[in-house]
Chains A and B, each alone.
Chain A
């Protein structure tokens, strides 16, 4: 019986999103944090369109001071480049949006479970539920905005 208090669908989605996360996290980490060069960039957008945002000199100096002189300070460019790519941007934006939704649902349903383990009165539970899904919604909006506008 699908009463409004039923968590059957959320529980089911938690399993599905958990499975998705295994693959999406691996892809995300590989593309975002390791493979700075190839990662589906068809053209050198910088060369084509002039300039993309870069780290400020101060930020770059800070990174080098902390991690050594040959520390990588260009990932931001690479990320922007990928999201500005005429061919692959749509793919990566799509991936990132799906990743965002999947991770937010998974993380915040999990958080809800943790909260309701300890909050036992019904009103407190409703408040915890509303509050945590509200935070998720705000993060979703911020995330969607960032992903959609980045590079475009």
Chain B
């Protein structure tokens, strides 16, 4: 099949504003969307910029807006993007993110928010001789959240992020959940101090866009709600 691939191009050194360009690309229904972009880059226009690495949904590099939805280009197939009639696939950078060039966004803000929630194990008790054990049941609590590959599809799908770029966003707060609910972690209070803030948890209005966007199908909203409840009980117990 032949497809029309429309890409939102932007080169800040040359262009005043982003603009759409179309390319005719031969494709197999079982190709990934990433293959379409690579065809454009390798055979039509080498100036196209995009991020990719693993091409297998592991590294999280190639989250972008495909046919209007945030997805990993490597993890979605052409057959799921086109119907028999309209054979156009559109690619744009993740919405509301600052664009460096074409499909490449500036992720520095995103990772700043990630680091701000202390996404590591906080535990000051003396190191045990071997590992700090965790039972399968204890792991089950955070299992879903550990699947995050930091692609940013969720945070950039969230209307709260669109309205307020300082909002911590689902990806960072999911990390806060992942460590706060890790039974080996003692950092609840210091992490809650960060997420229980005007740009944190309470700007999550349970819109569920993050759940819909997540390529790993993580039930993000559910875990953020658990974190909110933890913040409520923690603030109630400090008040008491």
Seen from chain A, the residues whose Cβ lies within 8 Å of a Cβ on chain B are 1-3, 5-12, 113, 116-118, 120, 122, 125
Contacts and interface: CB of A to CB of B under 8 A. Distances in A.
A52 to B, nearest CB: 45
Nearest to A122: B198
Contacts of A10: 202
Given A6-B196, A7-B198, A117 B203 contact: yes
B54 interface: no
Interface stretch (B45-53, B79-87, B226-234): B226-234
B231 A8 contact: yes
Contacts of B205: 113
Interface in B210-240: 228, 231-232, 234-236, 238-239
B116 interface: no
A117 B198 contact: no
Contacts of A122: 198
User: Which applies to chain B's interface (DSSP): helix, strand, loop or mixed?
Assistant: helix
B196 A3 contact: yes
A116 B199 CA distance: 9
Contact of A1 (B166, B232, B238): B238
Contacts of B166: 120
Interface residues of B, number: 22
26 contacts: A1-B193, A1-B196, A1-B238, A2-B235, A2-B236, A2-B238, A2-B239, A3-B193, A3-B196, A8-B232, A9-B232, A9-B235, A9-B236, A10-B202, A11-B202, A11-B232, A12-B232, A113-B202, A113-B203, A116-B203, A117-B160, A117-B203, A118-B163, A118-B164, A120-B164, A122-B198
User: Which applies to chain A's interface (DSSP): helix, strand, loop or mixed?
Assistant: helix
Interface of B: 160, 163-164, 166, 189, 192-193, 196-198, 201-203, 205, 228, 231-232, 234-236, 238-239
Interface centre among A6, A10, A118 (most CB of B within 10 A): A6
